[in-house]
Structure 1
Amino acid sequence: MVEIISFLKVLEHERLSERLVALRRQLGRAATDGTGPVASPTLVAAAAALLADTYRLISREPGARTLPRLDPRQAVTHRQLATMLRDADLKLDLFKYAHRDHDNDYGDEWLTIEGIEAFREDRKTYPRF
């Protein structure tokens, strides 16, 4: 079911998506550096913060609880971290799909309260004098 959201959630989705791309790039570099199988504490802390922020965005979505949570002090391998970040990416994609204007009824990619109000305001007709 498609649900209408605030435009602030769209902005948060975009911000999290950008952070996720950058963090996955960093993880790829760290995994190929040969520093060992365990991810650095800084990388783990950054991933934990991203996962927590992603969970806050999707917390009311079906299946949100399946998003992994990560203690920033936990030792995890690069592979485990990559899996968690892939799950976050999938959750963000599912969020976007759930709040998408699939039928292009309102002329925007997302179904937002503000977008629908603006669409309706543009379509109002006023009596001529």
Structure 2
Amino acid sequence: MVDIISYAKVIEHERLLERLGDLRSVATTACREAPDLPASPVLVFTAATLLGDVYRLLSREPGARSLVRLDRRDRPSHRALVALLRDARLALDAFAWNHRDHDDDYGDEWLTFEGIEAFRDARRKVIPAY
């Protein structure tokens, strides 16, 4: 199912992907060093905040409830934290897939209200009777 979203959600998606990539790198390094030790409070706090932001973006998406929200007081292992961040990445990828212009109907990667309106405005200028 492909749904139309606002461009603000596209921007938020890209911002979250960038933050997630940076945090996954840190968590993966910590996991290599000590996979079964508890993650530091700062790492957990940062991950919990990011996962909360991801959940807010995805809350109305199919399967969003399966995304685990981490409590800032928890102390998961590095291995568990990396798995949570991997799941967040999968959920963000699913979000992008669900809101893509797969058929290239509107000339953009995403199906956004703003993109469709701009496409229609451009068509009106080229084809006045449209």
Confirm or deny a common fold (TM above 0.5).
yes
- The match for 1:111 is 111
Size of the alignment, in residue pairs?
127
- The match for 2:72 is 72
Equivalent runs, 1:1-129 vs 2, <5 Å: 1-34=1-34, 37-124=37-124, 125-126=127-128
Give the C-alpha shift of residue 64 in structure 1. 0.5
Work out the percentage of aligned pairs sharing the same amino acid.
Answer: 59
Unaligned residue ranges in structure 1 (runs of 5+): none
Q: String of CA shifts for 1:4-48, please: whole Å, max 9, x gaps.
A: 000000000000000000000011222234496111100001110
Contact persistence 2:35–2:77 (CA under 8 A): no
Partner amino acid for 2:60?
A: R
Segment drifting more, 27-36 vs 96-105 = 27-36
Q: Using structure 2 for the length normalisation, give the TM-score.
A: 0.93
Aligned equivalents of 2:58 and 2:114: distance in 1?
Answer: 19
RMSD value over aligned CA atoms?
1.5
Q: Using structure 1 for the length normalisation, give the TM-score.
A: 0.93
Aligned equivalents of 2:108 and 2:8: distance in 1?
Answer: 15
Contact persistence 2:36–2:79 (CA under 8 A): no
Runs (4 or more) in structure 1 with deviation over 4 Å come to none
